Chains A and B, each alone.
Chain A
Amino acid sequence: QQQVKQSPQSLIVQKGGISIINCAYENTAFDYFPWYQQFPGKGPALLIAIRPDVSEKKEGRFTISFNKSAKQFSLHIMDSQPGDSATYFCAANAQTGANNLFFGTGTRLTVIP
């Protein structure tokens, strides 16, 4: 059973456009929601993370939007660049208790020049 559902599986965006990746979860104990970025041949690396006490977090061109009532969160990449082409994973866990980090299935983003 997938703890975190991620969509779309793949995404093609023109340079300068907005890329949007969505994730949903069911476990209300989750209180930490990171996004990881993975380039081909590399391990995933933390891109940005949010905790549920805020509805949005922005770091440069990357923004997480968080909707606690809907149990959904999304990654927005503004002014997408070819260098953003990578696989993106959302994840979730609880900071206390027995939960480990659960990952979504990944979104392969391709930004066309």
Chain B
Amino acid sequence: EAQVTQNPRYLITVTGKKLTVTCSQNMNHEYMSWYRQDPGLGLRQIYYSMNVEVTDKGDVPEGYKVSRKEKRNFPLILESPSPNQTSLYFCASSLGRGGFEQYFGPGTRLTVT
């Protein structure tokens, strides 16, 4: 089954404790991205990757890091989480950047206290 998986689905952590949210896709997609979803703000892009070892900032990259060492995986790293990063996070993948359907993972709900 073609899918994007994320782990964990739920995470509660404390300020400053480094965490990683994993994302994996099995569709051989070149383009992957991370979004955060907040009430009233919709989906905002954090980082994206055009291919292995190629990553770039989206609209709200501050406080986040990513890496793309393999085509299928695109982890999101919060080196020092803060309460304003409490949000619902989605990983997505697609064949390309513009004009292609994006396939979203199930989401990771993060709470930083």
Among listed A13-21, A64-72, A88-96, interface-contacting one: A88-96
Beta-carbon nearest neighbor of B96 in chain A = A95
Looking at B33, B41, B58, B102, the one whose CB has the most chain A CB atoms below 10 A away is B102
Cβ contact within 8 Å between B43 and A44: yes
The reply to whether A45 and B104 form a contact with Cβ atoms under 8 Å apart is yes
- A100: which of B4, B41, B45 is its contact (CB, 8 Å)? B45
Q: Once the chains bind, are B104 and A100 in contact (CB under 8 Å)?
A: no
| Residues of A contacting B40 in the complex (Cβ-Cβ under 8 angstroms) | 9, 105
Contact residues in B for A31 (Cβ distance below 8 Å)? 99
Given contacts A34-B101, A42-B106, A43-B90, contact A100 B58 (CB under 8 A): yes
* Residue B107 at the chain A interface, CB threshold 8 Å: yes
- Pair B104/A105 contact, Cβ less than 8 Å: no
| A: number of interface residues (CB 8 Å) | 27
Chain B, 62-113, CB within 8 A of any chain A CB: 90, 92, 97-99, 101-102, 104-107
**Please, which residues of chain B bring their CB within 8 A of the CB of A105?**
40-42
User: A74 at interface (Cβ–Cβ under 8 A)?
Assistant: no
B29 within 8 A of A: no
Asked if B102 and A46 sit within 8 Å, CB to CB, the answer is yes
B100: min CB distance to chain A, Å: 9
Cα–Cα, bound, A74→B33 (Å): 26
- List, in ascending order, chain A residues with CB within 8 A of B98's CB: 32, 93-97, 99-101
Q: How far in angstroms is the closest Cβ of chain A from B110?
A: 15
Residues of A62-110 contacting chain B, CB below 8 A: 89, 93-97, 99-101, 103-106
Identify the B interface with A (CB < 8 A).
Answer: 4, 33, 35, 40-45, 48, 58, 90, 92, 97-99, 101-102, 104-107
Residues on A lying within 8 angstroms of B by beta carbon are: 2, 6, 9, 31-32, 34, 41-46, 49, 51, 89, 93-97, 99-101, 103-106
15 contacts between A and B (CB under 8 A): A32-B98, A32-B99, A41-B106, A42-B107, A43-B107, A44-B43, A44-B102, A44-B104, A96-B98, A100-B58, A100-B97, A101-B45, A101-B102, A103-B44, A104-B42
